[in-house]
Amino acid sequence: MILSAGTELAIATNEHLANISNTLIYSAMAVYTLAFFAYIAEWLFGSRSKVARTASALTSGTQKAKGAPAVTVKKAGGTAVLERPKVVVRSSTGSRDVPDGPGAHGGDAQGDLYGRIAISLTVLAFLIHLAGVVARAASVERAPWGNMYEFNITFSTVAVAVYLTLLALKKNVRWLGLFLVTTVLLDLGIAVTVLYTASDQLVPALHSYWLYIHVSTAILCGAVFYVGAAGTLLYLFKDSYETKLENGGTPGRFATSFLERLPASSSLDKFSYRLNAAVFPLWTFTIIAGAIWAESAWGRYWGWDPKETWAFITWVAYACYLHARATAGWKGRKAAYLALIAFGCWLFNYYGVNIFVSGKHSYAGV
């Protein structure tokens, strides 16, 4: 088959852009690795002089609640003495009077310096990472999420963008940096080794503007769900730590050094809940948009395809979590477990369904 000069030039240009994209992704991984070591240094140099601060605040608050003799209430003609109410630990969020920890740097100037360097490296890596995604889009002349490799590199970009946006909004999330960069490196490592797919055009079913709407919202939702899940997981550890202190126990040295610098369990719980609650309506829209696209591509809105089924299961799981948060008996740890199960459903919907289950969504390949 003889190709025209223009076609050959276009192919060569696309291949060149694909190579540039690959180079940028590897470069981003290198800078993320430097950021990873800077975050490690922040935690290592973080001062341990404040180890007893959380314990002190917690035990003092407990003693006030348990040790104070009574509450005096004025009544007509005299006074009445009432017993102080018991401190509720797990059933109500925010019942403990515990301040947020100082952060990974622990209040240490050198640790804070490494933390700032880590943030700067994360921003640089993000920009290189974003440029790699844009170059990939230019090489395929479409949205860069037509297969799992493209979805992965875009998803991790958006996850970092969510983190940096929260930092720009002055939110107390710098403690998340080490965990975020670690998982982003793992995600990109899997993408470039296991999931890599050469630049190619899409099957006819994907040639629709709904690709930009449906998949972009799914990526954004996944990134926010991921950040929320990280907060939920750390909440469970911090809640156990605070409970052990409150009951007079002595946590291990490593647990104390690490957990006392994180925000209080109530702060982590609220952080995760607000993220999940904010993005849940967008996830609902993602499913609706997918159904509309399915009708356009396959002539039906819903067919219980494995991807559709697990998207719905994920929706139900997050709906149960949000409902549990509004139910007194399911706040705290029980609701947190539901949130982690829901995020597990989202992960399986992406990795498990795409790799192990065949369906109408299998056309994009790995």
Quote the pLDDT of residue 91: 36
Which pLDDT tens digit goes with each residue over 107-140? 888 889 999 999 999 999 999 999 999 999 988 8
| 299 confidence band (pLDDT: 50, 70, 90) | confident
Do residues 136 and 21 make contact, with C-beta atoms less than 8 angstroms apart?
Answer: yes
Q: Are strands 71-75 and 78-82 parallel, antiparallel or unpaired?
A: antiparallel
Beta bridge partners of 78: 75
pLDDT of residue 65: 42
- Phi first, then psi, for residue 143 (nearest 5°) are -65, 140
pLDDT digits (tens, 9 = 90+) for 191-247: 999 888 887 666 666 677 888 888 899 999 999 999 999 999 999 999 999 988 888
Asked if pLDDT for residue 319 goes beyond 60, the answer is yes
Q: What is the pLDDT of residues 61-112, one digit of tens each?
A: 444 444 433 434 344 455 444 343 333 333 344 456 778 888 888 888 888 9
Among 150, 264, 142, smallest CA distance to 207 is for 142
Based on its alpha-carbon atoms, the radius of gyration of the chain, rounded to whole angstroms, reads 25
Q: Other CB atoms closer than 10 Å to residue 169's CB: what's the count?
A: 8
253-288, pLDDT tens digit by residue?
Answer: 878 888 889 999 999 999 999 999 999 999 999 999
Q: What is the mean pLDDT of residues 152-179?
A: 93
